[in-house]
Structures are given as C-alpha cells and as structure tokens.
Amino acid sequence: MKDHYAHTISMDAHGSNMSYRDVYLDLDPTYRDSYGQPLLRMTFDWKDNDIKMARYVTGQMQKIAEAMGPKALNVYTRQFGVRFDSRRYQTTHLVGGAIMGTDPRTSVINRYLQSWDVPNVFVMGASAFPQGIGYNPTGLVAALAYWSARAIRNQYLKNPGPLVSV
C-alpha cells in the first residue's frame, strides 16, 4: 500500500434508476415486526435500460482509465440477469416511496415535503424523488430538508394546516 499510495486511483460511476410501475414499496403481507406491524417490502430489480445506461458510463470511464496507462485495471459493470441484492454494496442510492408532486392524486407529499393526507406529517429524505438521479442525492436531500424546516418554522407553526392548497 505504501509503495503504490500516490499511484493508485479508484473511479466510480452511479447510474440512474428510472420509474417503473413494477418497482414499488408496499406493506409485506407475510413478515411482521415484534409489535405485529407489517414490514415494508421493496419490489425492485434492475431494468435493461438501467443496465445499458450503467454499462455505457462504465465503458466511457474505462477508456479514460486505459488512456492513463495503468499497470493493472479492474473494471466492474452491472451484468444483465444479475438480480439486485440489498446485502451487497452497489453504489446505489435508492429513492422513492413518498413522491413529491403538485397533485395529491399522483404524489404523497407537496413541495414542502408535507403529507397531502396528514398535514402534521413531513417526510424528509430521498423518498421524495420519483427516481434515482445518477448522483449521490445527499446535497439535494439536505437542501430540501432546510426548505421544509423553513416553511415549518415560518408558516406551519404560525398556522398549522396544509401549506399548499389544491
């Protein structure tokens, strides 16, 4: 490690996961927690288009790495037919579950991350996004949390109720 520390590079790419009707979260009909409540179930697997996008980006990255003239190069890219496995780190940032939108019929939360159905519930996190953006969502999640906290402090606490009228 000490001999190669200044001569080693690791490159990584994040692909996007688009929205699909057969990719969703629901309550598991079989498994329950210690209080008897159903566990959250995630139905997800890579779609061919997601794999094609990831393979394209990885191929471009490989060309850059090869141009650097490495002594060794190890390239991993997503393979068709290999199922998603949440037990193994895959540089994924899975999102969704409480989609943000302008219409309560097609989304769960409004622009302030406030539940359309229960106005005293605010949902912070990447669950507000309908699909992966191909980039670590941490900065955007933090910005939305600050946006929501500001609305809670400046609007909701003064007049509890829906922050967006429909």
Task: List active site positions.
Answer: 93
> Radius of gyration over alpha carbons of the chain, in Å?
21
